[in-house]
Structure 1
Amino acid sequence: MAHSHGHDHGHSHGHHHHSPDDSMGKLLFAIIINIALTVVQVIGGILSGSLSLLADALHNLSDAGALIVAVIARKVGNKSASNTMSYGYKRAEIIGVLINSTTLIVVGVYLIFESFNRYLNPEPIDGWIVIGVAGVALIIDLATAFLTFTSGAKDNMNIRAAFIHNVSDAMASVVVIIAGTFIILYQWYVIDLIATIGISIYVIYHGILLLKQSILIIMQAVPSHIDIEKMKQQLNVIEGVEELSHFHVWQLDDKKYFFEGHAKLNTTDSETVKNSIKAFLHDEYEIKHSTIETTQMLEADQNLDPLK
């Protein structure tokens, strides 16, 4: 059987990165101030007796961890492809997201457990220390969120994960400030525990979303924005295609999509059909990497007929 193997990979790499040194500098500075803030919050939480402040401290520590993983993953991800890693190291960033999201969930569950434990064994809380430390935390959280956003959060899932950490932590700091205010005005110590549980649930929710997204990419699932049945129908009406089957769509990281498939053709001009399929995948689905194997329908039928 005469197979025409179209293993042409349209590698049009349109990388529009921020200056790598500039982005890395911002991320490293964000790591330093997050670690410093964590230390301040832990001291403040111990002195004031506030669990929500300690929750915010742990969340900040997870922010620093997220940023450290983001920096390492970006360094590794930028390494060139090799003979042993032909796809390159881009998926290191997805592993980074997997680690970050798992950390978020674990920290969130631990804080909820501690909240119930504190409810059964209540302690007095100094609201002024809570507000003071949370106020400083809010300023630093917003600054860190800005640093991560301008370091490529729009274009990079791993940096975006770190950015979400920071934004959620800024929101958590606002919640802690409100809790501290209620403690000062009404001595409602239970509000501190409610705030802790609220922050934890929010953290767990985002952790699960990121975890799901990263696992699907690692498992080579079809990208969420692609309807595989619709794609099949669209490809089957391309001129020259009799039937397209055995095809797969997956993504390497949060930006690179791949396609491979087999097309039975009703024409002898296989190159034109392959180019049409590749152009459609590129324009409609942003798939720049495609491998297409073709078989001419007439040849396939002859092979099936024992008299030929």
Structure 2
Amino acid sequence: MPHDHSHGHHHHPIAADAGDARVAWAIAVNMFLTLAQVIGGIFSGSLALIADALHNFSDAVSLIIAFVARKIARRLADERMSFGYGRAEVVAALINYTTLVVLSLYLLYEGVTRFFEPETINGWLVVWVAALALVVDLVTAALTYAMAKDSMNIRAAFLHNLADALGSVAVILAGGAVILFGWTWVDPVVTILIAAYILWHVRAEIGEAIRVLMLGTPPGLDPEQVAGAIEAVDGVREVHHVHLWSMQEREAALTAHLVIEPGAWARADGIKARVKDELEEQFSVSHTTLELECSSHACVGPARFGQDR
């Protein structure tokens, strides 16, 4: 049975070298900040500051993972990885989100523990180190902001830094509360709030990475609507065994069996080309594989989506 395969074009909205340089600078400043915050947290006795330091360290690690994933993703397809290496960035995003979950649970535990075992806190040291952290977080976020729009991988790292910038603001407020009112209990409260905020961000983003890796239907595409558009093409009797998924974050793909109307087999190639054009124009599905079946030899009782069980 005839079949055909079409390929979409890959887009790189930001020059690779410029993007790599930004990520490298972001890694450097976050490593510096982590060291400064750990030292400040130890000498000030602030758990919130150490929590922020751990989060900044996770920022640096996430950026390293993002940096490596960007390099891998640019490799061309080969005989071992025929779909290419683009999903390396999705894997990196999932790793980063998972580390955020683990980190947040640890901070929740430490924050609750500190309620029962309070420690003396140097409020001024907390404020000055947290202020430095805020500046570094904002610089890092600025370095990765543009790339975050087009890459799930970089977006995960960007969210690390955005959450950490807000965490630094909270730590400054905690240090101020110690200076002005002697409220040491604000420190563990801020730690718990930082952890809860990180988990809230992860909950909103991790599903997309899992969906891509699980070959789920791209968001915004209704499988039945796509199948209906295929069957609306003149000469198509039926479509079945439809698979609709994301090759990587922004590249939808489809495979399907196309049953040609009786008497239309002579123009099957034209029908196939028209189906591919419709998928590209209506749904931006650029990677398409179609297997053609004549009506007299079509699959019997096939599944409309996926494979027969």
Q: When the two structures are superposed, what TM-score results if normalisation uses the length of structure 1? A: 0.92
Partner of 1:288: 286
Alignment equivalent of 1:257, drawn from 252, 255, 267: 252
Q: Which amino acid aligns with 1:164?
A: L
Determine the structure 1 residue equivalent to 2:163. Answer: 168
**Which of 27, 38, 51 is residue 31 of structure 1 equivalent to?**
27
Q: What amino acid sits opposite 1:288 in the alignment?
A: S
Structure-2 residue corresponding to 1:194: 189
What SS does structure 2 have at the residue aligned with 1:273? helix
Fraction of identical pairs, as percent: 40
1:81-230 alignment, distance < 5 Å: 81-150=77-146, 152-230=147-225
Q: Secondary structure at the match of 2:5?
A: coil
Give the equivalent residue in structure 2 for 1:8: 5
- Specify every segment of 5 or more residues in structure 2 that has no aligned partner in the other structure, as ranges: 301-309
Q: Contact (CA 8 Å) 1:98, 1:210: kept in 2 or not?
A: no
Give SS of 1:63's match: helix
Query: 2:67 pairs with 71, 81, 93, which one?
Result: 71
Q: What is the DSSP-based 3-state SS (H/G/I as helix, E as strand, rest coil) of the residue aligned with 1:270?
A: helix
Does the CA-based 8 Å contact 1:27-1:147 persist in structure 2?
A: yes
Distance in 2, matches of 1:183 and 1:109, equals 25
The offset of 1:14, in angstroms, is 4.3
15-24 or 82-91: bigger deviation? 15-24
Q: Offset at 1:132? A: 0.6
Whether contact under 8 Å (2:93, 2:152) holds in the other structure is yes
Greater Cα offset, 132-141 or 177-186: 177-186
CA contact (8 A) 2:151 2:249 kept: yes
RMSD over aligned Cα, in angstroms?
Answer: 1.6
* Partner residue in 1 for 2:307: none
After TM superposition, list the pairs within 5 Å mapping 1:296-307 onto structure 2.
Answer: 296-297=294-295, 299-300=296-297
Q: Give the Cα–Cα distance (whole angstroms) in 2 for the partners of residues 209 and 94 of structure 1.
A: 15
State the number of aligned residues: 296
Task: Please report the TM-score for the alignment, with normalisation by the length of structure 2.
Answer: 0.91
* Distance (Å, rounded) in 1 between the aligned partners of 2:269 and 2:31: 57
Residue of 228, 232, 252 corresponding to 2:227:
232
Residues 151-181 of structure 1, C-alpha deviations (whole Å, 9 max, x = no match): x211111011111111111111111111211
Name which of 40, 46, 58 aligns with 1:44: 40
Post-superposition shift, 1:108?
Answer: 0.3
Please, which moves more after superposition, 261-270 or 12-21? 12-21
Using the TM superposition, give the Cα deviation of residue 193 of structure 1 relative to its aligned residue in structure 2, in angstroms: 1.2
Amino acid at match of 1:106: V
Tell me which moved more, 229-238 or 172-181.
Answer: 229-238
In the alignment, is the contact (CA less than 8 A) between 2:229 and 2:278 conserved in 1? no
Deviations along 1:88-140, one digit per CA (max 9) or x if unpaired, are: 11111111111101100000000000011111101121111111111111111
Amino acid in the other structure paired with 2:280 = H
1:80 aligned partner:
76
Q: Secondary structure at the match of 1:122?
A: coil
1:300 partner amino acid = H
For residues 15-39 of structure 1, what are the alpha-carbon distances to aligned partners after superposition, in whole Å with 9 as ceiling and x for unaligned? 2332222111111111011010001
Match among 53, 60, 63 for residue 57 of structure 1: 53
Secondary structure at the counterpart of residue 260 of structure 1: strand
Q: Deviations over 1:261-296 (max 9, x none)?
A: 011121222122211211121122211110111222
Per-residue displacement from partner, 1:231-261 (whole Å, max 9, x unpaired)?
2222222222211111001112111211000
- Structure 2 match to 1:306: none
